[in-house]
Structure 1
Amino acid sequence: MDDIVKQALARWPNVPHCTGWLLLDARGQWRMRDEAAQAHGAPGDPIRHAALLGFINRNYASDEKGQWFFQNGPQRVYVELGYTPWVVRLHCNTDGTLVLTDQTGSAFEPAAVFIDDTGGVLFSDASEPPRVAVLHDHDLELFSTHATLTDEGASGTFHWRADKALTLQPICRDEVAAKFGFVASPADAEKQGRI
């Protein structure tokens, strides 16, 4: 977290939080949701300002309830999640090594891989609790060239490294948030009195 954010929190500790205004979509784009977007259930406008994106990425965290937020100075801006709290891109280096990078630009080292019932691919890491990230849909083809799937397509092996293969595990999309302990919609939780 940025020092300027820590200083603002110390100076103004009781600023009300906000919900519904910021979305992380399933492609890793941060989106600003004005009142009209919220009223219509629209994703909102992509944020393109590089400095603002960097500020959001550096100050992105979760609370004890599994709600993800962006700490904007003294104000906590809870994030609506298009799917998971993290979105990863899969790249192949010039030496053929695969690399996963999350939406903040940080490396993501997978410990497990899942295929959901809609065909989405998810990775979790070895942190405690584990982070879970959906694979950007543009990278599904690269993923498939490094995976061996069974006939039903819900299990198999992902060949991450020459010495490390990960078993593909099936998961229901509706169970991902509960399994990994995150809240996809803090705005809904607030309406239900859980924030």
Structure 2
Amino acid sequence: MDDLVKKAMAKWPNVPDCYGWLALDSRGQWFMRDERVQSLGSFQSGVAGSKGSLLKHEKLIEFINRNYAVDEEGRCYFQNGPQKVFVELEITPYVWRVNEPFTPVAHTGVSSKALACLMDERGRVYLKTDLGFGLVHSLDVGLVAEALEKGNCVLEECESQALPGQNHYVMSPQSIVQEKNT
């Protein structure tokens, strides 16, 4: 986490959390979701226009990536100065790119070590790592297949609906807050 962010957290400790405005898709891309977009449906809904605006500003994306974390409740967030901006997930907390020696690198740029490889009923491939749980980027599934052939990992089957509970992450922190408020 950036030192500037840590200082802001200490200076303003009681800033309210933000929900629904930031999302991570299955390709490791960040989306901004304003009130109009949120009113169209959840990030996971697939409703036209509900994803929001793809972030393209390189420095902003780098800032978000450096200050991205998962809390003890399994909610992903971006620490934006003193404010936690909770992240809506399309599928998992991390999206892994995989290089030739079978080293997973998160969408945030952090390298990790693969602990388990899973495949769901739709053929999507996931990795459990020492950093956390995530989907393998679609462009790198072939590299995972090569690693399986070489015996670098063993493939386990899984059910996609069970993954958040089994791997301790929350797809939509906003929906939990909305349920508590109704």
Query: Do Structure 1 and Structure 2 share a fold, with TM-score over 0.5?
Result: yes
Structure 2: 5+ residue stretches without partners:
42-49
Identical aligned pairs, as a percentage? 39
Query: Deviation at 1:108?
Result: 2.1
Paired residue type of 2:154: T
Say whether residues 1:53 and 2:61 are aligned partners.
yes
1:26-59: per-residue Cα shift (whole Å, max 9, x none)? 1100111112221123111111111111111111
**Residues 76 and 86, structure 2, Cα contact 8 Å, conserved in 1:** yes
1:78-123: per-residue Cα shift (whole Å, max 9, x none)? 000111100011233xxxx333211011212101100011111000
Write the distance in 2 (CA, Å) between the matches of 1:145 and 1:44. Answer: 35
Count residues with an aligned counterpart: 173
Secondary structure of 1:187's aligned partner: helix
Write the distance in 1 (CA, Å) between the matches of 2:3 and 2:122. Answer: 41
**Residues 109 and 125, structure 1, Cα contact 8 Å, conserved in 2:** yes
**Residues 128 and 134, structure 2, Cα contact 8 Å, conserved in 1:** yes
Q: What residue number does 1:23 align with? A: 23
Secondary structure of 1:79's aligned partner: strand
Higher normalized strand content (fraction of residues): 1
Say whether residues 1:132 and 2:119 are aligned partners.
no
What's the C-alpha RMSD, in Å, of the aligned pairs?
1.6
Write the distance in 2 (CA, Å) between the matches of 1:141 and 1:125. Answer: 18
**Residues 26 and 84, structure 1, Cα contact 8 Å, conserved in 2:** yes
Write the distance in 2 (CA, Å) between the matches of 1:73 and 1:146. Answer: 40
Q: What residue number does 1:7 align with? A: 7
1:184 to 148, 171, 180: 171
Paired residue type of 1:85: P
Secondary structure of 2:114's aligned partner: coil
TM-score (norm 2): 0.88
Say whether residues 1:83 and 2:91 are aligned partners.
yes
Secondary structure of 2:180's aligned partner: coil
Write the distance in 2 (CA, Å) between the matches of 1:124 and 1:108. Answer: 10
Larger radius of gyration: 1
Write the distance in 2 (CA, Å) between the matches of 1:61 and 1:142. Answer: 27
Write the distance in 1 (CA, Å) between the matches of 2:129 and 2:143. Answer: 20
Write the distance in 1 (CA, Å) between the matches of 2:40 and 2:33. Answer: 10
Write the distance in 2 (CA, Å) between the matches of 1:104 and 1:2. Answer: 14
